[in-house]
Amino acid sequence: TFEEAIQKAIRAIDDSFVGFAPNGFVDDIDEELVNPTDKRIFAIADALQRGYSVEKIWEMSNIDRWFLTKLKGIWEMEQDVVKQGLAGLTPIKLRQAKQYGFSDRHLASCLQSTEIAIRRLRQEHAIYPFVKQIDTVAAEFPAFTNYLYMTYNAVEHDVQFNDHGVMVLGSGVYRIGSSVEFDWCAVRAIRTLRDQGIKTIMVNYNPETVSTDYDEADRLYFENISLETIMDIYDAETSRGVMLSMGGQTPNNIALPLHRQSVKIYGTSPEMIDTAENRYKFSRLLDTIGVDQPQWKELTSFDEAFKFCEKVQYPVLVRPSYVLSGAAMNVVSSPDDLASYLTQATAVSRDHPVVISKYIEEAKEIEMDAVARDGKLVMHYISEHIENAGVHSGDATLVLPPQDLDPETIRKIEDATSKIGNALNVTGPFNIQFIAKNNEIKVIECNLRAARSFPFVSKVSGIDAIELATRVMMGLPVEPYPPMSLPENYVGVKVPQFSFSRLSGADPVLGVEMASTGEVACFGKDKYEAYLKALISTGIQPPKKNILLSIGGYKEKLEMLPSVQKLHQAGYRLFATAGTADFFVEHNVPCKYLEALGEDDLKDAQKSEYSLTQHLANNLIDMYINLPSKNKYRRPASYSSKGYRTRRMAVDYAIPLITNVKCAKLLVEALVRRMPLDVSNVDFKTSHTTHTFPGLVNIQAFVPSLTDKNSTAFAEVTKASICGGFTTVQVVAHGAQPGSGITDTTKLDAAQSNAVGAAHCHYALCAMAAGGNTKSLDEDMQAETKALFIPFRGPEGGLNDIGSVAAHFASWPNEKPVITDAATTNLASVLLLASLHGRSVHVTNVMTRGDINLIALSKAKSLKVTCDVSVYALFFSQDTYPEATCLPTADDQKALWENIKHIDVFSIGTTPYLLATQLGKTTSPQSGIYETLPLLLSAVAEGKLTLEDI
């Protein structure tokens, strides 16, 4: 029904809303009804409470009377429940109230009772919700889609409860502070469970999430994440247990109440969750284990607040427990500031205490994300914030691996994390935020759940923290600290995405309250490249020429001076406001002075030339670096500074704006390096292992028509080689036909003619020995070729005269290699000659057990011999193709694998071409080239080879 749905929807917005009920959220009801905001629904409830009729509300709001009548029915039901009281509440009225969408908590507030008491009363009268399927097929035929919800307006369930699945609680509403990061965590948890064959139940009520896709979980409930609904689903499904550490703070808030109702909670004990959430308990725990924390105190009066601040000294961080004017956490720097803040923003009393903690300036904030089992760490990730502490972690720029942390600081953080994890007996994910200054660390917060940084650290490191955490919580085996294979020169940077352009009047300055509505992460070879890519991804374009500077405090000006000097040296044109321009000009950095002039002054054209507002309005500025001064005196809310107005103008005119000194310095360094932002191997992630090879060499590349006039074979072979991963080819010295060898200058000229202008990669040619051609291989031939090939097989029939072989050994230059395809006794003779002449020899296309054993023996005797084996000989044998005499026998192939350590080079050679010929298949110059690397990588996958072998 509409009533049930609207009440659920209101509760879905925020945990503090019980439903459609009078609330006091709106000061001026009439104004809200006429000019609506997001509080209008609450204004209608207050209006009904004050006696407004449906007709009057309709006249003011133009909301359809049907909806208003339905809302009035909810209000009347609430009045009936209040009137009857707990003692007079009949089962019929209780069921009616539930059918109107009243939660147990709402009824408890009406009846001066508790949520659990109302639940027990329901159960006594057998008042339970029914599980229904959303009809996605317009009643044409029965729906079987996995969209479930609970309602009291039914008489039977639509589904059977046989799975007893694990419940995973989602993050609920998307808002600043709780967004898609937690949905990623919930989805990864579900997928990990399903991979293990465990049935899953997803509970979430945000249709924009991936977790609410119908095929992600075995059961999907569109329901509020509250004690009542989770208990109802848990009981109906007879669930194995609940996993609530993946959905952010909303599920964590009901951990202890669920535990008290005997619900099985996977992971860290709810009592320990409460210890981490309760400031007093956590503080005592830190003191017990010897981990430092900033001084803090919960105060209930102005006098206590002033005394504590005087003791710890300003600045301090103030956290009110009851907010009046929308202000929450704030940094205050003086007694006047504190007095102004406490009187204007909060009510301080015994019922509404204020927590004040020492604020440490110029400290670095560090994020620790970890997974533990029974208190022992199984994985951790340390990320550093670019901004100093004081910027909310959700708005901070995050860097992983950390680039600027002292090893001693890292050691202390790891030690403190281990102590805290052990003390809280953590099983599952947790997050700790540290601040560090001068190698001293302090804990500022600990959450025993997945944090918003978990997706980032998982994707940068390649180790899925949520998969690890899920396995740990379910008691499945995990490998502590799995090997991490990060590329060299690899950094991930996460930057926030803001929506200030859509928030009229909002001051775009970072602070202790989270303001970002999204985030972007990019990879780079260093933090500068990654940061610049990430900024561009948020829509900020690097400045082309004109940069405006407005820097508040002297300390920030001094800190920015080296960066501003670099901008000037890099050719950027600098503009600056009054004090900023004076400072940089004094330090020999030319800046054009701009003044924030009023509207009247713009009539003067000369003054307009120096108008900051005109430059911003006319898009004459490419980037605005505005660093507000840390004002120690709190101004009234109505005060609008020039700095604020110019920041706001930059946002309204879509001019890139930087308001943090650390981010400004990082950006300047990235800009002046002028690095190319090409997509490289660090810019993508894949589920497969990626390995970057150096340019491979195609040894003994076979060109069938090597010396034929106008042959295109050379172009085909080199093109196939570059496509197959080879950047250089060393060409076999002969073609497919007799007389095609490079035996003299005529043949060499023919081969070079085919190669010049046609080669797609580097290449090397070899001279070929023949009977009586030692004189033909003169100095010119030797200069133009890289090696001498002495054939014993092939189309030429081979050089079987040992005397001729000896003559070539004697005449060929010692500094150039000799290659041979000799086998059996010929191989023994060549090795003997090489030994006698004291020179090295390379044996190509080794094929038999006897030959590889002879080469291994020669190496053992320190002979200068190397060898290659065709990749085809390692993977195909005569057992598979009996007619292919170019392949080894199965025994020979086994011997090649047994002697893999004695094989110096994997080649392609003539074997693929000969195999096609002997099998009667079509031959091609490209034969075997494309298949070589896949065959070798298959051997790596099978454990026969390593990447280093290749």
Beta-strand ranges (E) seen in 39-177 are 130-133, 148-151, 166-169
pLDDT, mean of residues 813-832: 93
- Cβ atoms of residues 660 and 510 within 8 Å: yes
Does any domain span residue 905?
yes
Q: Are strands 354-358 and 316-320 parallel, antiparallel or unpaired?
A: antiparallel
Give pTM, 2 decimals. 0.76
Locate 60 and state its tokens.
């003011």
Question: 729, 770, 719: which is closest to 747 by C-alpha?
Answer: 770
- Alpha carbon 64 to its chain's center: 46
Does any domain span residue 751?
yes
Q: What is the pLDDT of residues 894-950, one digit of tens each?
A: 999 999 999 999 999 999 999 999 999 998 889 899 999 999 999 999 999 999 999
| DSSP per-residue string spanning 765-784 | -EEE--TT-TTTS-HHHHHH
Do 784 and 888 lie in one domain? The reply is yes
Helix (H, G, I), strand (E, B) or coil at 64: coil
Q: What is the pLDDT of residues 466-505, one digit of tens each?
A: 999 999 999 999 999 998 878 788 899 999 888 777 777 6
Does any domain span residue 286?
no
The CATH number of whichever domain residue 252 belongs to comes to 3.40.50.20
pLDDT, position 690:
74
Question: 556, 547, 563: which is closest to 650 by C-alpha?
Answer: 547
* CA–CA dist 571, 670 (Å, integer): 14
Locate 771 and state its tokens.
């009977």
Do 238 and 140 lie in one domain? The reply is yes
- Cβ atoms of residues 613 and 588 within 8 Å: no
Q: What is the pLDDT of residues 16-30, one digit of tens each?
A: 889 998 887 778 888
Say yes or no to pLDDT of 348 above 80: no
Question: 250, 254, 255: which is closest to 171 by C-alpha?
Answer: 250
User: Which of 283-297, 320-334, 343-357 shows the lowest per-residue confidence on average (mean pLDDT)?
Assistant: 320-334
- Cβ atoms of residues 837 and 861 within 8 Å: no
**Of the residues 664, 688, 715, the one at which a domain ends:** 664
Q: What is the pLDDT of residues 327-342, one digit of tens each?
A: 466 788 888 888 877 7
* CA–CA dist 452, 466 (Å, integer): 12
Do 318 and 343 lie in one domain? The reply is yes
**Of the residues 315, 336, 358, the one at which a domain ends:** 358
- Cβ atoms of residues 249 and 226 within 8 Å: no
Does any domain span residue 876?
yes
User: Which of 352-356, 463-467, 488-492, 836-840 shows the lowest per-residue confidence on average (mean pLDDT)?
Assistant: 352-356
Helix (H, G, I), strand (E, B) or coil at 272: helix
- Neighbouring C-beta atoms of residue 144, cutoff 10 Å: 10
User: Which of 381-395, 423-437, 926-940 shows the lowest per-residue confidence on average (mean pLDDT)?
Assistant: 381-395
pLDDT, mean of residues 27-34: 88
Do 16 and 110 lie in one domain? The reply is yes
Tell me the three-class secondary structure of 166-227, residue by residue. EEEECCCCCECCECHHHHHHHHHHHHHHHHCCCCEEEEECCCCCCCCCCCCCCEEEECCCCH
Do 342 and 379 lie in one domain? The reply is no
Question: pLDDT band for position 399 (50/70/90)?
Answer: very high
* CA–CA dist 147, 134 (Å, integer): 5
Percent with pLDDT over 70 in the chain: 95
- Cβ atoms of residues 353 and 298 within 8 Å: yes
Residue 801 phi, psi (nearest 5): -90, 110
The amino acid present at 478, given as its one-letter code, is V
The CATH number of whichever domain residue 301 belongs to comes to 3.30.1490.20
Ramachandran bin of 903, using left for φ above 0, alpha for ψ from -120 to 50, beta for the remaining angles? beta
The CATH number of whichever domain residue 854 belongs to comes to 3.20.20.140
- Cβ atoms of residues 33 and 57 within 8 Å: yes
Do 172 and 206 lie in one domain? The reply is yes
Which residues are CB-neighbours of 67 under 8 A, at least 6 positions away? 2
Q: What is the pLDDT of residues 664-709, one digit of tens each?
A: 999 999 999 988 888 877 887 777 777 888 999 998 899 999 889 8
Question: 34, 16, 341: which is closest to 25 by C-alpha?
Answer: 16
Rg (CA), the chain: 38
Residues in the chain: 950
pLDDT, position 344:
66
pLDDT, position 321:
57
Does any domain span residue 235?
yes
pLDDT, mean of residues 36-62: 91
- Neighbouring C-beta atoms of residue 21, cutoff 10 Å: 20
Do 389 and 260 lie in one domain? The reply is no
Do 171 and 259 lie in one domain? The reply is yes
Do 731 and 863 lie in one domain? The reply is yes
Question: 762, 765, 838, 827: which is closest to 800 by C-alpha?
Answer: 827
The mean predicted confidence, pLDDT, of the chain is 88
Do 714 and 847 lie in one domain? The reply is yes
Say yes or no to pLDDT of 152 above 80: yes
Does any domain span residue 509?
no
**Of the residues 481, 499, 522, the one at which a domain ends:** 481
b/e 556-586 (16+ beta carbons within 10 angstroms → b): bbebbeebbbbbbeeebbbbbbeebbebbee
pLDDT, position 232:
95
| DSSP per-residue string spanning 708-752 | STT--HHHHHHHHHHHTTEEEEEE-S--SSTT-S--SHHHHHHHH
Say yes or no to pLDDT of 632 above 90: no
Residue 22 phi, psi (nearest 5): -55, 140
Do 251 and 350 lie in one domain? The reply is no
Note down the domain range covering 342: 295-358
Question: pLDDT band for position 325 (50/70/90)?
Answer: very low
* CA–CA dist 190, 198 (Å, integer): 9
* CA–CA dist 194, 183 (Å, integer): 16
- Neighbouring C-beta atoms of residue 92, cutoff 10 Å: 10
* CA dist 732 → 704, 736, 821 (Å): 9, 10, 11
> Total structural domains in the chain?
6
Which residues are CB-neighbours of 614 under 8 A, at least 6 positions away? 597, 602, 608, 620
> Exposed, middle or buried: residue 316 (CB in 10 Å: 0-12, 13-18, 19+)?
buried
* CA–CA dist 107, 119 (Å, integer): 10
- Cβ atoms of residues 470 and 192 within 8 Å: yes
DSSP class of residue 688 equals: S
Give residue for tokens 């002039």. Answer: 597
The CATH number of whichever domain residue 567 belongs to comes to 3.40.50.1380
Does any domain span residue 507?
no
pLDDT, position 636:
43
The CATH number of whichever domain residue 393 belongs to comes to 3.30.470.20
Angle at which helix 115-124 crosses helix 227-237, to 10 degrees, equals 40
Does any domain span residue 277?
no
Do 193 and 56 lie in one domain? The reply is no
* CA–CA dist 468, 470 (Å, integer): 6
pLDDT, position 655:
87
* CA–CA dist 203, 149 (Å, integer): 10
